[in-house]
Amino acid sequence: MKVLILEKTKLEKVEEILKKNEKLSILSIYFRELKDIELKDKFALILDGPEEYIKIATELIREFTEIPNEELEEKIIKKFKEENLKASEGLGFLFS
């Protein structure tokens, strides 16, 4: 899993670049607002999948993104996993 930070104004361009590349269709790509982490007008791009494809994606969009420090990356991943867990628990409730 890899986290990159980008400005809201660059969101569409990054999404377009990633979706245009057929090789990268194997990746799970998530965008999350970072206002909860005190970064207004910034988004996290979370890439999940094989490392070689994450490297390709990172290289293609490097001019539009920045790499967070380790502490911020851990905070974003933790928050992302918490959100996914809550969402999956909610679905479990619906189907039980």
Structure token pair of residue 33: 């607002």
Residue pLDDT, tens place only, 43-76: 999 999 999 999 999 999 999 999 999 999 999 9
pTM metric for this prediction: 0.84
Domain coordinates in residue numbering, the chain: 2-95
DSSP the chain: -EEEEEEGGGHHHHHHHHHH-GGGGGSEEEEEE-GGGT-TTEEEEEEES-HHHHHHHHHHHGGG-BPPPHHHHHHHHHHHHHHHHHHHHHHHHHH-
β partners of residue 66: 5
Protein fold of 2-95 = Alpha-Beta Plaits (3.30.70)
Using a pLDDT cut of 70, give the percent of the chain over it: 91
